[in-house]
């Protein structure tokens, strides 16, 4: 297997008189400064003619329309990438790329220009990564992170396992890339913050890269429900007390704590083989949420909407990627841990359908909000299209698993995308 990496800054430029709005929480927050840089981080994997690209963005999310626009660019198509995965860390200190937290009329043109800039930076990063392909071997590791995640919505179900995929250069043994999946909202800085920041994922990456070198990519795991650092007490050794809530100090200490656990776990990482493969299923999610229906009726939702006999539907996709013995599940939203872990809901869980070990890549190739159990509490204030989201996703998962059991297709680009 070959792997190449690249990183690009995607921090928006602030201009006086041209407001930029932060994403997340309720209401509007105008950006006043930059606390730390936002980045687009890229890993390209290649084996036997198959190329898969993973991208991690320090953004709240992107709708699938933006991914489709990227796929249609001629400079992207020239790269020969068979499958593209673009995930967002879900930082609540990045620009409003979904159009859900900005005033109706302000900055629409600026948002379009910024999204085009992000697409261009991704393509440049992919091209750079392809120029830097080296032979790698894959290692896997995991570790628990007790006490660092709080579930803000009953019942309390927390997936506190930190999952790691380590790509080491085969001939030298040095780190090429580390993929990190952890189930916590990137929102330490809180609702009063008015500065751009990658939040704790940026600290995790910084600490791992300083120790191992290479490039670290962070992916949001099963963060629905709501997995949050708010209210988590993080000990500050300088004061002997808990770091202040919503403070940069707490952000750094939390990131350092998770990175420390990751580095210790990577010392015990196990070889994971060299398989590389993917399956993708496209499916539709009915819009039950009246708030989303209102946005659609006003032409304010930046996502493609289709109509069928049951009403408005959001076309989306999910993917299952195999890297060595690891299974990476790319889901188009924020999945509840109850759906990932075994024993919490009726029927099969993600782990039972897909198999272990599985790394969840949340908010990947779409950002449709919470993927919650069909039996769970539902109301329109929940950030989700509706109760059928999970059922449609699980149908797609079963399709992917069934298809992956078929004999290998003759060409890497053939028959890997299907409809649920």
Which pTM value belongs to this model? 0.95
Record the tokens describing residue 199, joined without a space: 């939040």
* Mean pLDDT value across residues 195-221: 98
Asked if residues 54 and 329 have their Cβ atoms less than 8 Å apart, the reply is no
For 193, the domain range is: 136-271
83 and 160 share one domain: no
157 and 251 share one domain: yes
69 and 104 share one domain: yes
192 or 406: whose pLDDT is higher? 192
Compute, in degrees rounded to 10, the torsion defined by CA atoms 104, 107, 112, 114: -140
121 and 168 share one domain: no
264 and 317 share one domain: no
Record the tokens describing residue 245, joined without a space: 């809530």
Domain boundary among 114, 130, 146: 130
- Which pLDDT does position 354 carry in this prediction? 87
Confidence of residue 104 (pLDDT cuts 50, 70, 90): low
- The tens digit of pLDDT for each residue in 179-188 reads 999 999 999 9
- Which pLDDT does position 348 carry in this prediction? 86
Triad 332, 393, 322: Cα angle to 5° = 70
Q: Is the torsion defined by CA of 160, 161, 167, 170 positive or negative?
A: positive
| Residue 361, φ and ψ in degrees, nearest 5 | -110, 95
- Which pLDDT does position 343 carry in this prediction? 81
17 and 41 share one domain: yes
Mean per-residue pLDDT of the chain: 92
* Mean pLDDT value across residues 189-199: 97
67 and 125 share one domain: yes
194 and 307 share one domain: no
| Residue 360, φ and ψ in degrees, nearest 5 | -85, 130
Q: Is pLDDT above 90 for 356?
A: no
27 or 238: whose pLDDT is higher? 238
* Mean pLDDT value across residues 198-220: 98
Query: Which CA distances in Å does 324 have to 16, 244, 361, 413?
Result: 49, 41, 16, 19
241 and 288 share one domain: no
Asked if residues 259 and 208 have their Cβ atoms less than 8 Å apart, the reply is yes
Triad 301, 391, 331: Cα angle to 5° = 60
Confidence of residue 402 (pLDDT cuts 50, 70, 90): confident
31 and 118 share one domain: yes
Smallest Cα–Cα separation from 392: which of 310, 323, 328, 326? 310
Domain boundary among 95, 130, 165: 130
- The tens digit of pLDDT for each residue in 360-397 reads 999 999 999 999 998 777 776 678 999 999 999 999 99
CA distance 296 to 312: 9
- The tens digit of pLDDT for each residue in 6-65 reads 999 999 998 777 888 999 997 789 999 999 999 999 999 999 999 999 999 999 999 999
Confidence of residue 407 (pLDDT cuts 50, 70, 90): very low
244 and 293 share one domain: no
Domain boundary among 271, 296, 329: 271
Q: Is pLDDT above 70 for 328?
A: yes
Q: How many domains does the chain have?
A: 3
Record the tokens describing residue 414, joined without a space: 């053939």
């Amino acid at each position: 297997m070959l792997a190449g990496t690249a990183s690009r800054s995607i921090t928006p430029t602030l201009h006086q008189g041209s407001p930029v709005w932060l994403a997340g929480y309720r209401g509007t927050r105008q950006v006043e400064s930059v606390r730390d840089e936002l980045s687009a981080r890229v890993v390209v994997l290649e084996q036997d003619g198959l190329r898969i690209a993973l991208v991690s963005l320090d953004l709240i999310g992107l709708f699938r329309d933006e991914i489709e626009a990227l796929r249609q660019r001629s400079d992207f198509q020239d790269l020969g990438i068979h499958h593209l995965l673009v995930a967002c860390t879900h930082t609540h200190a990045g620009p409003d790329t979904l159009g859900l937290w900005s005033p109706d009329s302000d900055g629409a043109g600026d948002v379009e220009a910024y999204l085009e800039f992000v697409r261009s930076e991704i393509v440049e990063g992919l091209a750079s990564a392809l120029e830097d392909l080296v032979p790698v071997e894959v290692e896997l590791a995991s570790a628990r992170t007790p006490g660092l995640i709080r579930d803000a919505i009953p019942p309390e179900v927390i997936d506190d396992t930190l999952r790691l995929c380590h790509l080491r250069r085969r001939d030298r043994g040095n780190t090429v890339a580390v993929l990190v999946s952890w189930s916590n909202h990137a929102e330490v800085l809180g609702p009063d913050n008015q500065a751009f920041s990658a939040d704790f994922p940026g600290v995790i990456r910084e600490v791992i890269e300083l120790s191992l070198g290479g490039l670290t990519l962070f992916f949001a795991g099963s963060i629905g429900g709501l997995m949050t650092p708010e209210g988590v007490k993080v000990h500050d050794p300088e004061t002997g007390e808990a770091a202040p809530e919503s403070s940069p100090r707490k952000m750094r200490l939390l990131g350092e704590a998770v990175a420390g656990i990751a580095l210790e776990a990577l010392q015990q990482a196990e070889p994971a083989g060299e398989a590389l493969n993917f399956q993708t299923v496209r499916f539709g999610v009915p819009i039950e949420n009246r708030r989303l229906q209102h946005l659609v009726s006003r032409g304010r939702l930046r996502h493609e909407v289709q109509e069928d006999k049951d009403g408005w539907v959001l076309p989306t996709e999910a993917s299952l990627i195999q890297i060595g013995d690891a299974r990476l599940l790319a889901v188009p939203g924020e999945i509840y841990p109850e759906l990932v872990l075994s024993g919490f809901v009726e029927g099969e869980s993600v782990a039972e359908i897909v198999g272990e070990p599985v790394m969840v890549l949340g908010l990947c190739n779409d950002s449709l909000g919470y993927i919650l159990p069909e039996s769970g509490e539902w109301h329109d204030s929940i950030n989700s299209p509706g109760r059928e989201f999970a059922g449609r996703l699980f149908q797609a998962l079963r399709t992917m698993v069934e298809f992956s059991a078929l004999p290998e297709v003759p060409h890497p680009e053939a028959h890997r995308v299907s409809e649920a």
